[in-house]
Chains A and B, each alone.
Chain A
Amino acid sequence: MEVGQLQRSFVEYMASLFREGFLDAQFSQLQQLQDDSNPDFVVEVVSLFFEDSERLLNDLTMALDQPNVDFKQVDAHVHQLKGSSSSVGAQRVKNCCVPFRNCCEEQNTEACLRCLQQIKQEYLLVKNKLQTLFELEQQIVAAGGAIPMVQ
């Protein structure tokens, strides 16, 4: 594919992610932070986010799997997930965290499990989308083009 096409696809894809609420303004902030001194900043941060989130989701799964669920612990995990997802701009993931925390407060294991399920889905979705985005970027760079800034 030629560069121009790649670039256009990239821009459109990015716009759709915002439009559909997968990403929010915070992600734009990350993009703006990227500069020549840190050309891969966004990718690095998002990678960290992926690692961290997967760890948290695992911890959540285990915590909710206990016979005596420690809701405080669960809540702490969710809280952290909320923080990191909001920091990278993963809006839909962040939005799942609020009801999740409510369920924790109510100490409702069933509801928590449902929330966990939902959050996992959203996470996988956004992970997929971002990975696609990064691949597009790589293709553009490989084709000799510059990555367009999406405002």
Chain B
Amino acid sequence: MNIGSGSVLSSTGSWKSGDVVSDQFPVGLRVLVVDDDPTCLKILEKMLKNCHYEVTKCNRAEVALSYLRENKNGFDIVISDVHMPDMDGFKLLEHIGLEMDLPVIMMSADDSKDVVMKGVTHGAYDYLIKPVRIEALKNIWQHVVRKKKHEWRDNNFDQSGSVEEGDRQQKQSEDVDYSSSANEGNWKNSKKRKEEDDEGEERDDTSSLKKPRVVWSVELHQQFVQAVHQLGIDKAVPKKILELMNVPGLTRENVASHLQKYRLYLRRLSGVSQHQNGLNNSFMGRSDATFGTISSLNGLDLQAIAAAGQIPAQSLATLQAAALGRSASKSAISMPLVDQRNLFSFENSQVRFPEGQQQLNNSNKQIDLLHGIPTTMEPKQLANLHHPSQSFMGMNMQVNNSMAQHNNSVIMRMSQSQPRAQMLSGANNGSQVSRLPLSMQQSLSSEGLPGAVLAQSRIIDNARASAYNPVSQASSMVDFSVNQSKELQNYNFSLGSNSAGMSTLTNRGMLQEEVNSDIKGSRGFPSNYDIFNDLHQQPKPQNWGLQNVGSSFDSSHHPSIQGSQGVPSQFLLQQGISSTHNNGQNRNGPIGKPMYTNGEESGHTNLMGGPQLNSVSRNMLAVKAERFLDADYQSTNFPEQFGQDDLMSAFLKQQGSVGPVETEFGFDGYTLDNLPV
């Protein structure tokens, strides 16, 4: 088998890395083809060779896997038959997605719809019907490019970056840009993630397209929002926004995708206006009008958060429920906020929350909370989250929930949905996180997160139902992802169940890994920064989410989230989460969890943010830690994806008191009481 570069390749043998290759791309594309039928195998080999690809064939899935494992970067794409005697093609697909994050193309003589659908759901990049024609093979390189672009995007755009960015096509030329080692690293990282995450390549996963990432930091986002306001939301076009922002290195596309997310966020916020009385703006901490204030989140949220924190890892949801329950009346918003963040952060855990589930009841609804989280997502967010992303998020959440889940699954998911995650997170982050607190509480301005946050609290109250359809959608979406990450379920995202705050913390360890992976998956982190921002700015009790989270998180034991903590804690959580994102480790810290407490629903993620808040104190930190973990996880997958770590750190610093998240993790004694409400 010939792995490595052909004569046209550079010495590294990888077409990605050489300038030489770029000119001749897709010549030299390294394909691994797996089929137990010798006739087909031979034909495919010849066809691929005629396309000037480097072909390695094998007739057994196990052998193929060992080839791939031995040469992690030795292949660009895999083509596999569906029906094989030693291993089901879909299983192989999953493995590859998880471990190597390469694009996989399935093929079969079977063209029945359900089999093709299976390919789609398992993340295959394409499905070819036998007999395969050479024309079909000529274009398989597009999958590699697409994946790389997605990964690049994921890595580089925390929030922006709709998967569908139009510049993708133009990026072809960028393929040639394999120069930077950063790219390589990034690519590799992204590879790791999948299925980690999920897909291929992860999104998923393999691309040598590295562009400088655009990290939508809080400041940047604020600039963006200001520009949008200046122009008027109706008239805000990317070009003008870009001009107003005047940020060097920012492209119109970055702005465009970010705007898309922002719009969704706003939409969602407006939908959630009801009862969120006063989402704490503070939550958002932004001065932007767009980000409402989360003030109302407090109390309730905190409770939620706290409650959430308390829930044992396993049931973030329960936590959330508890949180919600407690603070149901209160800052419903806060919960959602937190949740939202968590949502994004912990997509996994959040996924659990069924829509409308109000984790209000402290009864450990565990995973429900998670589900709930998605619901809390603001409509906007929901909108953003479409299925793909949802799943991604769900995955993340799930992971959070089931920290036990190995990262692989998460990675797979994540990688797969990377692009989506990006979107989600992007969307979420931008819109939701920041928004939640604001909108929720009050009038639900269109801020994104607040919607989510609100949702959470709503859930308690009912917000879920009302406000967000999107939320439910989100939930569903999340759920979707949740399913995917079922395995992640084990991963109890203790955050979710922050009620047992402590437990979450402990879970954190587990979660961390998982969370990390999740977080990555849940790109939601990126959006965290918004929250963080808010958190940071307003550590007041209004920050329902975070506060609660913090406390709840801490006191895993006590299911009641103090509500008042609300947002702030969420923020911390979020922050934590985001920070962790960057870490690249799979620490699933409880960060995500605290979120749960906040919003029960969305809580998980929120929780994470929680700790960050000064007021939230340890809980929040713990939460944050979790988040970090998550973030790390994520970062491992997508190393560059979230600049959350940076954000987090920034927030943390700002917060001042928060102290190192890590220390917080061990919050054993976190009690809601500690959290300044």
Contacts and interface: CB of A to CB of B under 8 A. Distances in A.
A52 B39 contact: yes
B108 interface: yes
Interface stretch (B129-137, B326-334, B364-372, B589-597): B129-137
B83 A79 contact: yes
A45 B42 contact: yes
A15 to B, nearest CB: 21
Contacts of A86: 109, 130-131
A49 B39 contact: yes
B47 interface: yes
Contact of A87 (B37, B85, B110): B37
B40 interface: yes
| Interface magnitude class on chain B | 20 to 34
A52 B134 contact: no
B593 to A, nearest CB: 45
A76 interface: yes
A51 B47 CA distance: 21
B139 to A, nearest CB: 16
Contacts of A18: none
Given A30-B43, A45-B43, A76-B83, A89 B131 contact: yes
B109 A33 contact: no
A49 B42 CA distance: 10
A88 interface: yes
Contacts of A26: 131, 133
Contacts of A87: 37, 39-40, 43, 130-132
B39 A45 contact: yes
Nearest to A89: B131
A82 B37 CA distance: 11
Contacts of B246: none
Given A29-B133, A33-B50, A76-B83, A88 B39 contact: yes
A50 to B, nearest CB: 9
A14 B534 CA distance: 76
Nearest to A38: B46
A83 B43 contact: no
Contact of B43 (A35, A80, A82, A88): A88
A106 interface: no
B184 interface: no
Nearest to B43: A87
- Interface of chain A, helix or strand or loop or mixed? helix
B85 to A, nearest CB: 8
Contacts of B47: 33
B37 A33 contact: no
Interface residues of A, number: 24
Contacts of A88: 39, 43
A59 B17 CA distance: 48
B90 to A, nearest CB: 15
Interface string B97-129: 000000000001110000000000000000000
A89 B43 CA distance: 11
A86 B109 CA distance: 8
A84 interface: yes
A101 to B, nearest CB: 9
B656 interface: no
Contacts of A41: 46
B36 interface: yes
A48 B42 contact: yes
A33 B131 contact: no
Contacts of B43: 30, 33, 45, 87-88
B38 A48 contact: yes
A79 B110 CA distance: 8
B39 A84 contact: yes
A135 interface: no
A33 B134 contact: yes
Contacts of A82: 109
A113 B126 CA distance: 36
A12 interface: no
A44 interface: yes
A44 B42 CA distance: 9
A93 B46 CA distance: 23
B37 A80 contact: yes
A35 B52 CA distance: 14
Interface in A41-63: 41, 44-45, 48-49, 51-52
15 contacts: A30-B43, A33-B47, A41-B46, A45-B42, A45-B43, A52-B37, A52-B39, A80-B36, A83-B37, A84-B39, A87-B39, A87-B40, A87-B43, A87-B132, A88-B39
Interface of A: 26, 29-30, 32-33, 35, 38, 41, 44-45, 48-49, 51-52, 76, 79-80, 82-84, 86-89
Given A33-B134, A83-B37, A84-B40, 10 more contacts: A33-B47, A41-B46, A45-B39, A76-B83, A80-B83, A80-B109, A83-B109, A84-B37, A87-B43, A88-B43
Which 9 pairs show the lowest CB-CB distances between chains A and B?
A: A83-B109, A84-B39, A86-B131, A87-B131, A49-B39, A26-B131, A87-B40, A82-B109, A48-B39
